[in-house]
């Protein structure tokens, strides 16, 4: 783990935080290295019982804000496998490359723009000339492995939206400004996957293409930069760990008039969570030329026909989940005892509620299961009967469960249970009949 003096985070501490998060993810079932029993497969990860819940929550929360709560955005789930024509037209076959260099001393390979001239493996500064390395995974569709059968795993979800632009326009009768959103897997043959799930070869993206009348492009670009920054803030990323960084002119793609990255302060420094790009009419025009199809909007009211401009907020789901884990991690003291706590927003936590019978005694089980059955239709719940109640609270704190509901011996008499809050550790007693409502109040829609 390298340190970045500009961030003010020193190496041991930053290394510690990453190690703790990686350790927690493995130990508690958030993220496992793939194919571990065969020695692992560097650069891919498997999401365990808690991780799959959290990753789904990240994606659902994005979908809720981008699709469900808007009447100008619709969803799409396009194929991952696609023919070369798509990537020829989009420019990915020619340009989706990173500069690859070989270290002449230890023969390791690196992405030239990420190593600042020194080999991270051996310290040598003697490299081959950088050459473009295409990041797309190539495969063959069907039983014959010839050129005519070549297919690619998508390196981004965005092209699915451009290729289906006319389909969506016709079927939904939307009118610019409107957007098409998609969440799904993407694949990039990254030269140096690194920093846990920050950069992997298989990952998930959350992307939206927002089609607008050309003269409204900059206005919508500003709208989306603002919206996307707020989304992370509302889900608990603190202000001092989140920033918007507009690209310098020399960083912009040739077709982009403006791009800003939403960046998070990772243990190694500021790095990208999401890019918001004003892509003009580049993509639709490219597909129009290559396919011969008209990818335009015809406004019947004015008789005007135009190719919409596009603003694209493109985020990574897996990378963002990691940022939420890093931002939420804290160590504090409760009753003189050290504890680890993940202060995750309730929308993101793997479990919103844990039902904990005070003791394993069978007398408590029927009521505890009755409470669990009441809560399960509303919330993702854990049910844990092992160890002491104090230990179980700690275990729930460590994985970010915001509320525990404890059933004790008094509950059998008064049909009341205790709700315990992760952050304040406060406990309140509520009747079983009101427990769903009490928890709902803590998780307003």
205 binds ligand ATP (CB under 6 A): yes
Dihedral angle computed from the Cα positions of residues 192, 229, 28 and 60, in that order, rounded to the nearest 10 degrees: -110
316 binds ligand ATP (CB under 6 A): yes
Nearest CB to ligand ATP, comparing residues 199 and 309: 199
Closest C-alpha to 169, from 350, 291, 297: 297
Closest C-alpha to 307, from 282, 331, 326: 282
Give the range of 69-77, 243-251, 300-308, 316-324 binding ligand ATP by CB under 6 A.
316-324
Distance CA 365, CA 107 (A): 62
Query: Binding string to ligand ATP for residues 387 to 426, with x set by CB under 6 A, is what?
Result: ----------------------------------------
273 binds ligand ATP (CB under 6 A): yes
The one among 275, 308, 357, 400 contacting ligand ATP by CB under 6 A:
275
Sole residue written with tokens 């959350």: 206
Distance CA 251, CA 237 (A): 26
Tell me how far, at minimum, the Cβ of 248 lies from ligand ATP, in Å.
Answer: 14
Contact in structure between 205 and 183 (CB atoms under 8 Å): yes
CA geometry: angle 29, 32, 34, nearest 5 deg:
150
The one among 89, 136, 315, 348 contacting ligand ATP by CB under 6 A:
315
Nearest CB to ligand ATP, comparing residues 183 and 212: 183
184 binds ligand ATP (CB under 6 A): no
199 binds ligand ATP (CB under 6 A): yes
Q: Report cis status (omega within 30 of 0) of the bond before 96.
A: no
Distance CA 91, CA 158 (A): 13
In the range 123-162, which residues lie near ligand ATP by CB under 6 A? 156
260 binds ligand ATP (CB under 6 A): no
The one among 272, 365, 370, 398 contacting ligand ATP by CB under 6 A:
272
Closest C-alpha to 341, from 420, 442, 439: 420
Give the range of 195-203, 215-223, 234-242, 324-332 binding ligand ATP by CB under 6 A.
195-203
Nearest CB to ligand ATP, comparing residues 120 and 213: 120
274 binds ligand ATP (CB under 6 A): yes
Tell me how far, at minimum, the Cβ of 224 lies from ligand ATP, in Å.
Answer: 14
Q: Which residues contact 360 (CB under 8 A, 6 or more apart)?
A: 385, 386
The string of DSSP letters for 211-223 reads EE-GGGHHHHHHH
What residues line the site for ligand ATP (CB under 6 A)? 156, 188, 190, 199-200, 203, 205, 272-275, 314-316, 318-319
């Amino acid at each position: 783990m390298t340190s970045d003096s500009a961030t003010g985070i020193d190496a041991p501490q930053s290394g510690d935080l990453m190690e703790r998060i990686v350790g927690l993810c493995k130990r508690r079932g958030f993220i496992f290295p793939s194919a571990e029993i065969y020695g692992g497969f560097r650069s891919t990860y498997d999401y365990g019982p808690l991780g799959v819940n959290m990753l789904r929550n990240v994606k659902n929360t994005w979908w809720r804000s981008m699709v469900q709560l808007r009447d100008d955005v619709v969803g799409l789930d396009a194929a991952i496998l696609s023919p070369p024509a798509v990537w020829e037209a989009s420019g990915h076959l020619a340009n989706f490359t990173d500069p690859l260099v070989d270290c002449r001393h230890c023969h390791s390979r690196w992405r030239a723009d990420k190593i600042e001239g020194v080999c991270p493996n051996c310290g040598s500064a003697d490299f081959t000339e950088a050459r473009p390395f295409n990041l797309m995974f190539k495969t063959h569709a069907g039983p014959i492995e010839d050129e005519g059968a070549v297919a690619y795993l998508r390196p981004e979800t965005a092209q699915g939206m451009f290729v289906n632009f006319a389909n969506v326009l016709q079927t939904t009768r939307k009118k610019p400004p409107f957007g098409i959103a998609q969440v799904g897997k993407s694949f990039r043959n990254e030269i140096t996957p690194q920093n846990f799930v920050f950069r992997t070869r298989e990952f998930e993206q959350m992307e939206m293409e927002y089609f607008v009348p050309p003269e409204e492009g900059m206005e919508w670009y500003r709208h989306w930069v603002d919206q996307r920054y707020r989304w992370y803030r509302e889900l608990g990323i603190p202000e001092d760990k989140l920033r918007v960084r507009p690209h310098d002119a020399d960083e912009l793609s040739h077709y982009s008039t403006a791009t800003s990255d939403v960046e998070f302060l990772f243990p190694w420094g500021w790095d990208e969570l999401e890019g918001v790009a004003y892509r003009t009419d580049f993509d639709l025009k490219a597909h129009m030329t290559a396919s011969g199809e008209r990818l335009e909007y015809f406004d019947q009211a004015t008789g005007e026909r135009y190719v919409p401009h596009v603003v694209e907020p493109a985020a990574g789901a897996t990378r963002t989940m990691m940022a939420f884990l890093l931002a939420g991690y804290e160590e504090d003291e409760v009753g003189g005892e050290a504890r680890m706590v993940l202060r995750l927003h309730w929308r993101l936590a793997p479990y919103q509620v844990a039902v904990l019978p005070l003791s394993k005694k069978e007398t408590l089980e029927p009521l505890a299961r009755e409470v669990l059955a009441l809560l399960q239709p509303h919330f993702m719940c854990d049910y844990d009967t092992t160890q002491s109640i104090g230990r179980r609270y700690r275990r729930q704190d460590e994985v970010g469960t915001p509320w525990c509901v404890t059933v004790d011996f008094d509950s059998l008499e008064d049909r009341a249970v205790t709700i315990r809050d992760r952050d304040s550790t406060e406990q309140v007693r509520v009747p079983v009949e009101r427990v769903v409502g009490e928890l709902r109040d803590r998780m307003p829609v």
